[in-house]
Homo-oligomer: A and B are copies of this chain.
């Protein structure tokens, strides 16, 4: 690999837990590894989506020990040493620092990195590739970190908001703006006020930057993490030794919110964060009584249900808007509107010593 070639690399973050898809999701089988619609897992599709833009030898994945086996199983086409396994979970900043360091070691400071969460869905893959190419150009030419923004169309409280400031130029026919302000997961009233401005994008956690730009940002705002990476540079096998000295924080809170010069571009590519059974439900294949996957399904006067039951026949009788998810050791039946209460289910299971089920 030539150094300083400005080539685009992918750094896929596949360490998320995704407990909101219990009982299908587990510690050892997180959301990004679940094939909800029979079309492949979000992780596998995150790689496929790069096809033609970034070859496998420029793709890296960071994940956690718990889920390493499941992640490797999803990525047969990736060289095993391209899967970086965190010694322990320390949030996204150390993962991005490590991945950036590894990519920079091979490709140099001018290489461009696209950080991609593995657990999102993006409907328009060609549009996404074109957008990523534009963002790469912007990152190369400006030296800034670019963050893709999703048009905020409702006062959601689960996302971070980016306020678009001055326009900084056009790349690939798309206008890039300065980020004026970050607002992490606002309350409902704040979210409504933000939406009213008409200048807000959601932070999708997709970043594009030159290796050197991220290294500078880390040095300025997370110096302990930057120092740990410098030590790692001298002895790449010592990740376990330096890991504990990194800052256990998110890249948003630790770096992005503190930078004054971040670019953003609106990503109109059918993005969804796949936040819950309820949200994903509408994207799944239709079946009698609702949507989802089942070996066999019979519905009598039922509708709006989200079903996942690969091993058995399911009969739905007189139901409206339920989630029904069957696995070999656990079964969930839930009102679709109560998706947020899955946390309480997991808490109760853990409290009753059923950790193995979580």
Contact for A332 among B296, B315, B330, B341, CB less than 8 A: B315
Q: Which residues of B contact A357 (CB under 8 A)?
A: 296, 313
A311-358, CB < 8 A from B: 311-319, 322, 324, 326-335, 337-338, 341-342, 344-345, 348-349, 352, 354, 357
Q: Is the beta-carbon distance between A348 and B298 smaller than 8 angstroms?
A: yes
Q: Does A218 lie at the interface of the complex (its beta carbon under 8 Å from any beta carbon of B)? A: no
Q: Does A273 lie at the interface of the complex (its beta carbon under 8 Å from any beta carbon of B)? A: no
Q: Does A187 lie at the interface of the complex (its beta carbon under 8 Å from any beta carbon of B)? A: no
Q: How far is the CA of A322 from the CA of B315 in the complex (A)?
A: 13
Q: Is the beta-carbon distance between B331 and A315 smaller than 8 angstroms?
A: yes
Shortest CB-to-CB span from A310 to chain B, Å, is: 12
Q: Which residues of B contact A322 (CB under 8 A)?
A: 319, 333
Q: Does A240 lie at the interface of the complex (its beta carbon under 8 Å from any beta carbon of B)? A: no
- Considering residues A318, A324, A326, A345, which has the most beta carbons from chain B within 10 angstroms of its beta carbon? A318
A residues lining the B interface (CB < 8 Å): 22-23, 296, 298, 300-301, 309, 311-319, 322, 324, 326-335, 337-338, 341-342, 344-345, 348-349, 352, 354, 357
Other A-B contacts than A296-B357, A315-B334, 20 sampled, CB-CB below 8 A, are: A22-B315, A23-B315, A296-B352, A300-B348, A309-B331, A312-B328, A312-B330, A313-B329, A314-B331, A315-B330, A315-B332, A315-B342, A317-B333, A317-B344, A318-B335, A318-B341, A319-B334, A322-B333, A324-B333, A326-B331
